[in-house]
Structures are given as C-alpha cells and as structure tokens.
A and B are shown apart, each in its own frame.
Chain A
Amino acid sequence: MLLTRLKSLENWKSWLWSFVRLMLIIGLSFVILYPILQKISTSIKDKADLYSPIVVWIPKTFTLENFKDAIRIMDYWETLGNTFALSSVTTLLTAASCAFAGYGFARLKFKGSNLLFAGVILTILVPPTTILIPIYLNLKDFTLLGLIPLLTGKSVNLLNSYWPFILTALTANSLKAGLYIFIFRQFFRGIPKEVEEAAYIDGASIGQTFTRIMLPNAMPAIMTTMLFSFVWQWNDSFYTTTYLTTSKVMSTQLTSLPYNLAIQLNGDINKSDPFYMSMVQDTGILLAILPLIIIYLFVQRYFVESIERTGIVG
C-alpha cells in the first residue's frame, strides 16, 4: 500500500520536473529566438504598419521594400563575397598554423617549449586593445625588419588590405588564435603516444606522422577550430574596423549602415525618419547573419559532437 503511494509520489515528482524543465527550455528558447523573430517580422513590415497599434507581429501589408533598401545600401552581394573570402582564407590559414603550433607544443617538446606555451596563454589573457595601437602603427608603415625599404625604398601601408588578416592568420596570431592553439594542444595530448611511436617504428618521419596519422585523428578539433574561427571572423568588428576602413565586408558595412542610410535618405523627406532607419538596420542585421544561420543549420550537430571530443575538458 505504502509502496504504491510512494511510487506514485515519485511519479508525480518526475512529471512535475519534466513540466518545469519543459517550461524553462521553452521560455529560454523564446528569449534567444525573440530578437530573430522580431527582425524577421520587422523586415517584412510596411512602414505604415510600424505606427499601427494593432500590428505587433504579423504585418498587415507584406513588403520586400526593406530588403531591397538594405541590399542596395549595404552593397550586399559584393559585401557577402568579400566577407566570405576573408573569413574562409583566415579560417583555413588559422586552423593550419594553429594545428602545427598545437602539435609542436603537445608532442615535440624542446628546450623552452613550456615557456613559449606560457606565451600562448599570455596572448589569450591580454586584451587586444592593449596592443592595438602599436600594431596599427606597425602595419601602417610595414617594414618587415627593414627588409622592404631596402628593396623598394619605402615602407608599405598594409592597412585597408587583407594582408593584416593573412599575416596574422599565417602566424597563428589572429583573432583568438591562442584559444585554438590551446584546443589543439589539449587534443593532441589526448591521443595515445603509442600511435605515434608505432608510426615512427614503421619508418614514418615526424612530418609524415603528423600529416598521415595525427591530423586525420584530430578531425574534431579541426572542425571546432574552423567553425569558431569562421564565425568569429565573420562577426568581428574589432579588427575589421581597425584594419579595413573602406573595404566592403559585413561588419564594417553593418557599422556604417545607419550612417549611409542617413545620407541616402537625406533628400527624401518622406523616408528620413529614425524609425524607418531602424527598420532597415534590422533588416541589414538579418541579412548579415542569414548566411551564418544557414551554415549553422548544416553543421550544428558537429558542433556538439566535436566539442565533446576535442579534449578541451581533459
């Protein structure tokens, strides 16, 4: 008798918990999705609907005007191409250089390698603003240890080109690269030493061991690094607004969207009102993150799987 009552009590408790959990998850999901839903709703709204008190979510008159305006002002297709090219190049270079460095720190120990790894940690911890100005000045008059002036007579200005991104990515010092080196190092440390030794005994050189044995095993770490690096580079406004001033990439275009919009609409008294501008800006944000969301839909399952196996936790 008592047992059955207890059982039903347990049952009740688990039901209650399921309910609470469901509510929490639905509620928080809503909090996360709310801005996106709102942007979608705003972007298809007509201007008149903005002031109509009965329209909150579903617009009375659908329009694609906002999209047209945002695409025109942002120069969307060109911007998209540029951003995609920039992000992919830096992603590939960063992943490669960080994999090398991570493997070097994890398995190929040499004198002082631990000290250098402390340097990696330092790059993670120091705010990028601290070193921003010297880097900026350095890139403005780039000399490469005085080599370039020797050859051409004067220094080159690397600002407003993709070179700063390529150079920092190539040398594993781009945006948050310290973190990727850390991920790779942890991962390579997790692969048993025997695997490597077996390869070596079978006659593989260290380079071969790395490319043929270790890299294929490190696929989860590579995926994680590439995902993060791509997304962060895409959204980054810190470095892009410093290095690039006129080049058309997504984050600079988004930052200057309100400004460009104001110029464009200045003549048109009908349209220059702050709410309309805000509406186009929301559409612009939606357009900027749309490619990321599409990519995310395809790769999100690797996201969870890969981080589980990267050994970041080990």
Chain B
Amino acid sequence: MKTANELDVETVEPVKKTGSKGLSYKGQKAVWGFIYVLPWLLGFLFFFFIPLFLSLQYSFSKVESGPGGLSVNFVGMKNFMDALTVNTSFNRTLTESIINMVVNVPLIVIFSLFLAVLLNQKFFGRGVARSIFFLPVILASGVIMTLESSSLVNAINEQNAGSGGVLNMLGSFELARMMEQAGVSETIVSYLTGAVDRIYQIVSQSGVQILIFLAGIQTISPTLYEASKMEGATGYEAFWKITFPMVSPLILVNMIYTIIDSFSRNDMTTLIRETGFAQFNFGLSSAMAWIYFICIAIILVISSYLVSKKVFYHD
C-alpha cells in the first residue's frame, strides 16, 4: 500500500522533468513571478523609492533651481528648524490635522461598523439604502469636497430656511444638557455633540469602510447566529459575542484605511504643496512632508499596536 504522501511525490515528479527550459515547476514559477512583478518594481524604484530618497536628501539641503539645473547644498537640520520654529502656520496646521485624525478615525470606524450591521439586516428598501450609503465613495473625494465647504449658496439657503439652522443648534444643545445632567463627563459630551454636528463629514468619509465591514459581516457563517439564538442570546449579545470579534481584524484594516484616506484632503497637504510650488522652497517643503510622515507613522504604529492586541484571529 502506498501512503497518500508517496502518491503525491509520484504525480509531481514527472511534471518536474517535462517542465520547459529544464527548470523545475518551482523554478519556473520563481522566474515568472519576478517577470510579473517587474513592471511594478520598475515603477516602485522610479516613482517611489528614488523620489523618497531624494525627498529625504532635499529635506536636509537648500535646493535651488537655476539655469544650470538643480543645485542641492547640504544645510543640516536648518529646514526642520525652519518648519518648526520659523514658519508661521506649520505647527498649527500639523497639530490641527493630527488632532482631527485622532478625533475622527474612531468615530468613522465605529459609525461605519454600526451602519454595516444595520445595512446587513433585512428590511424593506435595503437595496436602495445600500446604494445611497455607498454614494459617498464616488462623491466625497478630491476636489468636490474642497469646493463644497466654500459654497455660499449653502449659507444663504440656511439663512432663508431660518428655523432649520436654529433647530439644529438647539438639538445638539439640548442633547448636551441632557447628557451633562445624566452625569456624563464634559469631554465626552463635547466629543459626541461635535460628532453630531459633523455628521455629514463623517458619513461622507465612511463609504469604503462600510463596504469593507459589510463584506466582512457577510462572511460570518450563519450557523453561529443560529446556534446562539437556540441558546437564547439576544441580538445585542450576538453582536458583541459573534459579529464584533469576527470583524475585529477589519477594524484594524479600516482604521489604517481611514488614516491614509485623509492624506488627500487635509490642510497639511495644501500647506506642503504651497511651500513647494508657490514659494519654490523645495527643501522646506520636503522637511515638512517628512515631519508629517513621521507623525503619521507614529500614530499608525501606536494604534495598530493597541488594536491588534484586542483583535481576534480565526487561526
């Protein structure tokens, strides 16, 4: 009798010998793997790695573009010192964008998880609701977002609508009072009411995250829910004991996605670009970009560490 293992070896071996170019299957795979990855590798070198290295070099240098081409002179930490101590808006913009990130990321992640759970339930008009909630994926990116905030028509409409604006303020004011009386601490209250006031911003930034969570929820086997129902678990318990642990790896994914998604639309990006392309101070601009990148990297590392400790993995 042959064991399964021996059978395996026999079926694989002839293949190895007949492989073209005299390479084994594995060897061929490695060669082709390199060929498949090659376009990306070239792009990575020319459009990512070399620029990244150059940008690091620029950040330590005075870059001047003259008639004879680019002149790069080493000046040490001067650009970094300039960014942190001389430039008037850098510190403020940096702290603002980081605070925004720290405030918004948990809100967006929690909100999108909640909505994904909601959109996963069966109800009338679910298809329509889903397509509305994914609309921000196509609308809230790039230039549209920037222009939207500066629209004057919004302002005049609110003025005309009159009571609408007042009602809105009253609403979150009442909510705040109610929560404070209930003994909730003041920071949490202002955080939550702030979230209510920024609801559009949050909804419009959570399209992709809802998609990812929804996809994750749908891979959970329904037998788990059936079993828990038989044991008498309520929907609330089922969420915390089944849904939440099962999608917890995705919380990490979504958190990272939310952080990198904010790159394209924040004031920091605008400031860095303006320093580079309006004032032609390439050195300072690179230094700013690197400080920003380092801050982001620290946030990413800390948050991934905190979240990944709590994450449940199937295997």
Binding site for B on A (CB under 8 A): 18, 21-22, 24-25, 28-29, 31-36, 38, 42, 50-51, 53, 55-56, 97-98, 100-101, 103-105, 107-111, 113, 116, 119-120, 122-138, 141, 167-168, 170-173, 181, 200-201, 205-207, 210, 228, 231-232, 235-238, 242, 251, 254-255, 274-275, 277-279, 281-282, 285, 288-289, 292-293, 296, 300-301, 303-304, 307-308, 310, 312-314
Contact = CB atoms under 8 A, between A and B. Distances in A.
Contacts of A131: 47-48, 51-52, 55
B264 A133 contact: no
Contacts of B11: 201
A172 B42 CA distance: 9
Given A172-B40, A304-B214, A138 B51 contact: yes
Top 5 A-B residue pairs of the complex, sorted by shortest distance between their CB atoms: A171-B43, A108-B33, A104-B36, A173-B43, A134-B51
Contacts of B143: 235, 237, 251, 254-255
A235 B141 contact: yes
17 contacts: A55-B160, A100-B40, A108-B29, A127-B263, A129-B289, A134-B55, A171-B39, A171-B40, A171-B42, A201-B11, A235-B143, A242-B277, A278-B151, A285-B144, A303-B134, A304-B134, A313-B219
Contacts of B144: 235, 254, 285, 288-289
B297 A281 contact: no
Interface stretch (B80-88, B178-186, B197-205): B197-205
B293 A206 contact: no
B110 interface: no
A163 B160 CA distance: 48
Interface in B1-59: 11, 15, 20, 25, 28-37, 39-44, 46-52, 54-55, 58
A287 to B, nearest CB: 11
Given A111-B30, A137-B70, A289 B161 contact: no
Nearest to B290: A130
Nearest to A113: B33
B146 interface: yes
B147 A313 contact: no
A107 B29 contact: yes
B276 A133 contact: yes
Contact of A100 (B36, B46, B121, B268): B36
A110 B31 contact: yes
B242 interface: no
Interface in B101-160: 115, 118, 121, 123, 127, 129-139, 141-144, 146-148, 151-154, 156-157, 160
Q: Is the interface of B mostly helix, strand, loop or mixed?
A: helix
A176 B136 CA distance: 18
B215 interface: yes
A285 B44 CA distance: 34
Contact of A42 (B28, B153, B296): B153
A260 B44 CA distance: 38
Contacts of B79: none
B215 to A, nearest CB: 5
A281 B33 CA distance: 49
Given A104-B36, A129-B289, A173-B47, A56 B160 contact: yes
Contacts of B54: 134, 137
A236 B142 contact: yes
B129 A29 contact: yes
A253 to B, nearest CB: 9
A201 B52 contact: no
A206 B44 CA distance: 24
Contacts of A181: 40
A32 B132 contact: yes
A173 B51 CA distance: 13
A192 B42 CA distance: 30
B28 A22 contact: no
B250 interface: yes
B271 to A, nearest CB: 9
B78 interface: no
A248 to B, nearest CB: 14
B60 interface: no
